[in-house]
Amino acid sequence: MKSKVLLTILTIAASFFAVYVVYAQEGRPGYPTDDQVNAVAKKLYCPVCPNTPLDVCETKACQDWRAQIRDQLTKGWSEEQIIAYFVDQYGQRVLGEPQRRGFTSMVWVLPLISTILGLVVVWQVLRSWKSGKKSQTGIATAAPQVPVDIQALVEKELREID
Amino acid sequence: MVADVGLVALVIAFFFSVYAVLASIYGGLKGRSAWVESARNASLIVFPLLSISVLAVVYSLYVLDLSQAYVYDVASHAMSTFLRVTALWGGQQGSVLFWAWIMSGFVLLVLIRKWEQDRELMPYVIAVAMLTTAFFVGVVVFITNPFARLWYVQGATDLTPAIFQPANAMPYIPEEGQGLNPLLRHFGMIGHPPTTYIGFTGFVIPYAFAIAALITGKSRDDDWIRTTRRWTLVAWIFLTIGLVLGGRWAYDVLGWGGFWGWDPVENAMFMPWLTGTAFLHSVMMTEKRGMLKQWNMILIILTYALTIFGTFITRTGVISSVHAFAKSALGPAFFAFIGITFLGSMSLLFYRWNSLKAEHQLESFVSREVAFVLQNMIFLAIAFAVFWGTVFPLISELVTGNKITVDPPYFKKVTGPLFFSLVLLMGIAPLSSWRKQSLRNFGRAMLVPFLGSLGITAVWGYLHRMHPASIAGLWLVSFVLLAILAEFWKGIQARRHGRGENPLVAFGKLISRNHRRYGGYIIHLGVVMLALGIIGDTYFKQETQGTLTAGQSLSVAGYSLRFEGLKSYPGTDGREIIEADTTLLKNGNTIRPMQPRRDFFIVQEQPVTVPAVYATAGTDVYILLLDWQDDGRSATFKIYINSLINWVWGGGLMMILGTLIAAWPPRGGKKETTYQLRPQVFGPQPSAGD
């Protein structure tokens, strides 16, 4: 009986201690919170599981990497330093955005060029459609054998439908 | 035994498919209708044959015949009967068979419904649709066969799946299967593959008609568009449902609080959706104005290529690594098929290019035509950006040897402005008219929605002034919303004054009398809701993470989460559940208890995080149990405040509802009466075959 009471007291004491430790850690200046760690991890991508930001990845490797970020933050590293360290260690693929230099810049440039090109083509096509109007009207006036009044009626109904 | 029947049926189906392709082409080219009819009969028999194969796989899964390699891969004793049956599409072999089966079902439907109507096109419709079917059935027979058995080869460490007994091998029957990937055991992932495949295969039908029209030279008149309009809408609706289900699955299962990760597999499905949506719009322009005929062809050819490409990416994993390509014959087979069909279709299109010139000229730059053309171009630009970002890691690896990944930030930055323009056009286009319009009229139509949206944005911007970046998005949403509502308002007013109907009746009749147009607007309203959800996800999302002991709380955005304790118990489907008891409070008032959990699937040794979600119209409080310490005396939680996320799901449902309205058959069983009043009737009549 006595040992049970003792155990209970010890357990309660231990849990108080745990709370104290958590508080102490969070309160201590310079000790990064989970949110601070995640803020940096969010900008990195898991090197082993593609398309997963490091802050949400659940693999053991990513947990270790987050712990590493925490250590680096504790040491006073800046966000840029940490990101540079990870790129150095694991290559460019830890970055969510491909860098805008060298061959990788192609990934950014090509969609832009294609959009501009698309706009130019659209403009050209629209202009050619517009300028070809004369010949079209020439044929159009020759073609219909529908009486004018019926045509007007249909046109009117068309407008109502639209 | 049952599996053998399935295998035999599969092989016969393959021969019939190949025969149908050859016989229909021969019959079509030589004008021999007996051959075409024979091809039709061969095509009709493929669906029942493949049904036997599918049933054989389902039966093997149901009785858990572990001598079958596929059953061993995707099923286990712990899985419920329902899950075992759905495992038909849980792995590669089954899902490719499933694809082929749905495809053959579409062919059957087309042949039953359209045979009499489009006799001239039919030989080539059969040829194209059955070529696609034959390719998939061939892949199932020769490369990824669901009827392979497990064999133990002497001296080997792994089991060998094979149809026929390899040398020095004996049959092997494991005691337990590996079971379906736990992440896939969710209603979203159970419904996602069938709907996606129906969407993918559905687009083969308009493609087949388009190619048939090109071959026969009947592409000049646009019958193929009218014939396939509803088929296209059905394909589109299923693809949309597939996207929504996939997003919901990601949100519920992947445990990162989001619904769209720009993953190659998601992009693979999104690209045909984009080009398919562009196609749905461009054919409208052809129906109304006889324009964009060449463009329709390009879009449907692209959509077809992208659906096959989508299946290819999903099924081979080639994007994650170049090496996946060489692992099986699947990669090269798909690659060759896409290449050949794409180049063949494009050559055919260029051959008929001149016959597809526009029937009408553009009358004004201020017209709906211009909005349509721009909108189509933007759709394609987005599809290209997504495609480029998806394949770029491969290109980078091949060219420079440098492995990179292209992740959400890239896609958001590149497609964001394009989506903005697209939604803006969606608001402007209905306010413009076909053919021509004075700038003054156009400005007048824009005035009320524009001023209204400025007012809403001012109020909204003031309330959310800490997120200035969101204001442009909020303006866009309110402008487009008002523009669409104005269209409804105008329609209702016209009916009220013209026929004296009360507003409710007028509203109902407006939609039922003109369901294509107003169904379209309802789809657009769905897009606006979706855009609002995406704005919430982009700008208003908040999160926090912390470790709590019993009684402690974690707070974010006025909500706080109090940890009460941790418990564990065995669950269904072979899992052990660790569940946290927590209480959610808002501003100090208890809302309700929440149980975020972690399920450990014992056989697969895989944990799955199951979030606890408190959903309101405006916000989801999304709670994850990340970890626990000291025998459960403390635990780590992550809370996401997902603002406006439910508008994403609501928007998806609205889009589906709108499509149903737009695709609804016209009254009285008369078919496609709306097409009688085409403006180009008054233009020069194209002669067939010119």
Round the CA-based radius of gyration of chain A to a whole number and report it.
34
Minimal-distance CA residue of chain B relative to A59: B607
**Contact criterion met (CB < 8 Å) for B381 and A106:** no
- Looking at the structure, tell me whether residues B516 and B552 fall in a common domain: no
User: What is the arithmetic mean of pLDDT over B593-609?
Assistant: 87
Q: Does residue A146 fall inside a structural domain? A: no
Interface contact A143-B365, CB threshold 8 A: no
User: Mean pLDDT over residues B187-198, rounded?
Assistant: 89
Range of the domain at A69: 32-114
In chain A, the number of structural domains is 2
Phi-psi region of B217 (alpha: psi -120 to 50; beta: other; left: phi over 0): left
Cβ–Cβ below 8 Å for A98 and B406? yes
Buried b (16+ CB within 10 A) or exposed e, A88-97: eebebbbbbb
Strands B606-610 and B589-594, how do they pair? unpaired
Residue B369 lies in a domain: no
Note the pLDDT tens digit of each residue in A54-68: 888 878 888 888 989
* Interchain pair B396, A103: CB under 8 A: yes
Cα of first residue to Cα of last residue in chain A, in angstroms, is 89
One domain for residues A18 and A36? no
Residue A96 confidence (pLDDT) above 80: no
For chain B, how many structural domains are there in total? Answer: 3
Residue B394 lies in a domain: no
Mean pLDDT of chain B: 87
CB atoms A93 and B400 under 8 Å: no
Tens of pLDDT, residues B556-591: 988 999 999 999 999 887 889 999 999 999 988 999
Chain A CB within 8 Å of residue B317 CB: no
Looking at the fold, whether A80 and A51 belong to one and the same domain comes out as yes
Are A6 and A36 found together in one domain? no
A98 touches chain B (CB under 8 A): yes
pLDDT tens digits, residue range B245-265? 999 988 988 878 888 888 888
CATH number at residue A98: 1.10.8.640
Q: A103: which chain B residues are within 8 Å (Cβ-Cβ)?
A: 396, 399-400, 402
Average pLDDT for B530-554:
90
Shared domain for A88 and A38, answered yes or no, is: yes
Residue B211 and residue B282 in contact, taking contact as beta carbons nearer than 8 Å: no
Count of positions (residues) in chain A: 162
**Domain contains A142:** no
* A131–chain B nearest CA distance, Å: 8
How would residue B675 be classed by pLDDT, with cut points 50, 70 and 90? very low
Question: Which residues on A lie below 8 Å from B684 (Cβ)?
Answer: 139-140, 143
Q: For residue B474, what are the domain limits?
A: 438-539+647-666
Domain identity same for A42 and A94:
yes
- Asked which of B19-23, B274-278, B326-330 is least confident by mean pLDDT, the reply is B326-330
Q: Around Cβ B504, how many Cβ atoms within 10 Å?
A: 9
Same-domain status, A6 and A71: no
Q: How far apart are CA B176 and CA B603, in angstroms?
A: 9
* CA distance linking residue B522 with residue B524, whole number of Å: 5
Average pLDDT score over residue span B35-63: 96
The answer to whether residues A1 and A56 belong to one domain is: no
Q: Do B142 and B81 share a structural domain?
A: yes
Q: Which helix (H) or strand (E) holds B496?
A: helix B471-499
Which of chain A's residues have a Cβ under 8 Å away from the Cβ of B318?
A: none
Please state whether beta strands B553-556 and B160-162 pair in parallel, antiparallel, or not at all (unpaired): unpaired
Q: Tell whether A94 and A48 lie within a shared domain.
A: yes
- 8 Å CB contact of A110 and B388: yes
**Same domain? B567 vs B518:** no
ipTM above 0.85, yes or no: no
Verify that B60 and B183 share a domain, yes or no.
yes
Query: Are A109 and A48 in the same domain?
Result: yes
Amino acid type, A55: D
For residue B155, the Cα-to-chain-centroid distance in whole angstroms is 45
Is the CB of B493 inside 8 Å of chain A's CB atoms? no
Residue B418 lies in a domain: no
Indicate whether B508 belongs to any domain: yes
pLDDT in tens, B56-112: 999 999 999 999 999 998 898 888 889 899 999 888 899 999 999 999 999 999 999
Smallest Cα–Cα separation from B394: which of A106, A86, A84? A106
The model's pLDDT over B503-522, given as tens digits with 9 standing for 90+, comes to 888 888 888 888 888 999 99
Query: Mean pLDDT lowest for which of A106-115, A145-154, B527-536?
Result: A145-154
As a whole number of angstroms, the distance between CA B578 and CA B104 comes to 45
Same domain assignment for residues A10 and A61: no
Same domain, A36 and A110: yes
Q: Contacts of residue A130 in chain B, CB cutoff 8 Å?
A: 361-363, 365
- Which pLDDT band, with edges at 50, 70 and 90, does B323 fall under? low
Under the banding of pLDDT at 50, 70 and 90, the label for residue A134 is very low
